[in-house]
């Protein structure tokens, strides 16, 4: 899956009441992931069935939200990922991805609200660094954004989809900086380019 790869998510990382309700077993989840990664429509149908069968399994809601986002259904993705976060509010990757969905939809204040919980993480935590990088970009502070996003990206080797998202943004930011350095009025044009990067990012990263 391009938008999000759930194979790295450990079932036991979900800690808030996860063993109080029935959960999808690991073997079934792995088979589902294999179906989805192959691009089979049957995988989406299986995912819908499992989500109905296990409505309190945040992993399934997160996975369906990610799948919907990859297909361009941002409202459906937002609904499922919000429900997943309500079940697992302390799961940092899920919170990051929901905030990133809002951010790349042009809803920066909403993303900032979702990411505010990262203030409770230790200083220098990867998700705090990435959050601060994206918010610096929204403020048009491109040099700070590049530094923080580069730092966060370099720590994300265990989550390749996130690293790819950040690398894509950094490549575009480098283009913006090079353009600004070559134009006398580059500083004035940089803000428009940066806002365009944010508003168009969801579409670009799905192709």
103, pLDDT greater than 90:
yes
Which tens digits make up the pLDDT trace of 17-63? 444 457 899 999 999 999 988 877 888 999 999 999 999 999 999 99
Spell out the domain ranges in the chain. 1-90, 115-207
Mean per-residue pLDDT, 74-91: 95
Which tens digits make up the pLDDT trace of 157-171? 878 889 998 999 999
pLDDT of residue 96: 96
Mean pLDDT of all residues belonging to the chain: 82
pLDDT of residue 14: 47
The dotted CATH code for 1-90 is 1.25.40.10
pLDDT of residue 104: 92
Other CB atoms within 10 Å distance of the CB of residue 171? 9
Among residues 205, 122, 175, the alpha carbon closest in space to that of 194 is found at 175
pLDDT of residue 181: 75
**Cα torsion 120, 123, 127, 128: sign:** positive
pLDDT band at 198; cut points 50, 70, 90? low
Query: Distance between CA 9 and CA 130 in Å, rounded?
Result: 19
């Amino acid at each position: 899956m391009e938008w999000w790869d759930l194979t790295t998510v450990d079932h036991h990382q979900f800690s808030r009441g996860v063993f109080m309700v029935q959960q999808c077993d690991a073997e079934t989840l792995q088979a589902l992931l294999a179906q989805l990664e192959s691009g089979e429509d049957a995988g989406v149908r299986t995912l819908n069935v499992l989500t109905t069968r296990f409505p309190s399994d945040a992993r399934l809601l997160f996975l369906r939200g990610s799948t919907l986002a990859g297909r361009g259904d941002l409202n459906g993705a937002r609904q499922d990922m919000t429900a997943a976060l309500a079940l697992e509010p302390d799961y940092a990757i899920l919170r990051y991805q929901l905030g990133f969905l809002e951010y790349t939809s042009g809803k920066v204040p909403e993303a900032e609200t979702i990411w505010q919980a990262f203030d409770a993480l230790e200083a220098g935590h990867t998700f705090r660094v990435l959050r601060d990088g994206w918010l610096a970009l929204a403020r048009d502070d491109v040099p700070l954004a590049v530094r923080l996003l580069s730092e966060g990206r370099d720590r994300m080797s265990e989550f390749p989809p996130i690293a790819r998202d950040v690398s894509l943004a950094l490549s575009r930011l480098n283009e913006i900086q090079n353009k600004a350095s070559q134009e006398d009025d580059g500083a004035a044009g940089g803000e428009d380019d940066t806002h365009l990067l944010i508003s168009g990012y969801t579409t670009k990263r799905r192709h």
